[in-house]
Structures are given as C-alpha cells and as structure tokens.
A and B are shown apart, each in its own frame.
Chain A
Amino acid sequence: MSLTEKDKTAVKTLWGKISKSADAIGADALGRMLSVYPQTKTYFSHWSDLSYGSGPVKAHGKKVMSGVALAVSKIDDLTAGLQDLSELHAFQHVSNFHRNKILSHCIMVVIATLFPKDFTPEAHVATDKFLSCLALALSEKYR
C-alpha cells in the first residue's frame, strides 16, 4: 500500500490546519495511549511519571509530533526521510511494530475531537494510510 497523490494532498491539507496544535495533539495522543492501553506503559518504564498530562508525556508527545511534521515534509520518500529516527527507535528497542496501530488510532481520535469538521472520512483514510506508511518507514531498521 502506497500513498497516492490524492492522499499526499489530503495529508498536507489537514496538516496545514492542525500543525499549530501539534504539541497539544502529541501530548493528548500519547497520554491517551498510556492510559487507554496500559500495556504500552512497558515501553516507558524509565520515565518518572506516566500519568496523563505529566511532564515526560508532554515532552515526548511534542517530539512525536515533530517526527510527524518531518514525515509530512518528506512524504515523497518516507523511508529515506525517517532513516535517523528509525535507527534511534531501533536502538531504543521500540521494535514492537504492530503497536503502532494503537498510537495511530489515538492520534486520530485526538484530531477528531479537536478538528471534527476537518477530519472528514476522506481525510481520515489518507491519514490512516500516511500513519501506516510512517510506522513502516520507522521500523525499517528494526531487523
């Protein structure tokens, strides 16, 4: 599955509308992931506070969204564009690839709560595909 031109346009358009709220989206999505899916906490046991809205969660949420921003800018070649991030995550042993669906779902839930009019079914399918391709590119160096 690869991104069509239509998908890329839809993603860039949506990103244009939501990017100002990127930090908040990241913090909310990550916080939700940790509380709605407690099994994901196992990847962050080195943080002092895993509760929703905590310092570490907000800081990392911001980082996650800057990764998404990078991916949007490199949307024509995600594998090359996300190479460094892939190595970073591989080194940190975040190699449970199928968990990515959980974070992707949480990101989309947050976008839906904040931008209900913009997150149309068309925007949703493009975003779902984009986040899947992003996760795939990110897992490039895992094994």
Chain B
Amino acid sequence: MGAVRGISFPRAPASRGHPLYRKTRAAKMVEWTDFERETIQNIFAQMDYEEIGPAALSRCLVVYPWTQRYFGNFGNLYNAAAIKSNPLIAVHGKTILHGLDRAVKNMDDIKTAYKELSVLHSEKLHVDPDNFKLLADCLTIVLAAKLGSSFTPDIQAAFQKFMAVVVNSLGRQYH
C-alpha cells in the first residue's frame, strides 16, 4: 500500500454571501393525504378552545414542571390545583391553542407561517424548543381524553404529524 495522502479541506470563503454558502437543497414540502387534511380541519372545527387550551397548558406545567420557568409572572403555580385554577394560565392556554389556527389554515407552508413566531419564541421569550414537543404531547393526551374511542390510531397519526410539523417550524429560526 502506498503512503496515505494528506487530506486537504477547501478554505472557508471569507464572505457568507459567497456562492458556496448558498442553500441548494430543493424545497421540501410536507405532503398531506386527503385524510390527514380532513382530519386536521375537522379536529379544529370542533375544538373547544376554552376547555382544551387551558387543559393542555396546565397539564404541561404539572407533568413537566421545568416548563414553569417561562411563567414566572403568572402568579401561583405552587401545585396542580393552583395551576389548574390559575386564570392567567387559562387565558394563555387559549392563546396558544389559537396559535395553531395559523397552521391549520396554511398546511402547505407551515414553515413560513411560523417564521415570526419562531423568532419571537427564540429571541424574546427564550424558550428551549425541546419544550414545544412536550406541550404537543400534552395536547395529544388532552385531545385523546376528550375524543375517547373516536381518537383512532389513524387520527392520532395525522394529528401527531401535524404537531410535529408545527413544532419543527417553531424551532427553525433559533440560532
């Protein structure tokens, strides 16, 4: 065997505007089946925002207590009962759930739809994007409790796919 040649790496271009930095990946759209689209539209058309929003957020704060760090100004979060009856949390839960409406209306480009919200969560609110998935899981469980046996595996799959896209989009603008 001959001697191993040294590997040389190209020198990094000086400017970020250099063609080498241009993103050439083809834009990848999320593909939705008709069933998935219908399922998402149906779920949100029948959604009781007053009930589900607060339930999902308060559950997240109980099940994953480290998420409480983002709610320092919200008053008493001392125990599950306090969290459940906290009016500021209730209002915010509803706000968050309505925040999903944007994705429901723009399923073909959720990434763009959430660009500003992503920046907000990163630069202003400083939320660890890991937590978005935790809230999504709590929302899934609350929805399952509400829908019972009509929350079939196929519907669960469609809903979780939708939430995964939302969660991914919200984490995109972090740097």
Residues of A within 8 A of B (CB): 31-32, 35-36, 52, 105, 108-110, 112-114, 116, 119-122, 124-125, 128
Pick the contact of B80: A119, A122, A128 (CB < 8 A): A122
Count residues of chain B with CB under 8 A from any CB of chain A. Answer: 23
Cα distance, A119 to B58, chains bound together (Å): 14
A54 smallest CB distance to B (angstroms): 13
Report if A112-B156 is in contact (Cβ < 8 Å); known contacts: A121-B80, A122-B80, A128-B63: no
Mostly, the B contact residues are: helix
Tell me whether A113 and B145 are in contact (CB under 8 A). Answer: yes
- Further contacts, 8 of them, CB under 8 A, given A121-B83, A121-B84: A35-B153, A52-B153, A112-B141, A113-B144, A114-B148, A116-B145, A121-B59, A125-B63
Residues of B within 8 A of A (CB): 58-59, 62-63, 80, 83-84, 137, 140-142, 144-149, 151, 153-154, 156-157, 160
Tell me whether B148 and A113 are in contact (CB under 8 A). Answer: yes
Cα distance, A119 to B59, chains bound together (Å): 11
Pick the contact of A121: B58, B156, B157 (CB < 8 A): B58
A118 smallest CB distance to B (angstroms): 10
Cα distance, A90 to B137, chains bound together (Å): 29
Residues of A within 8 A of B142 (CB): 112
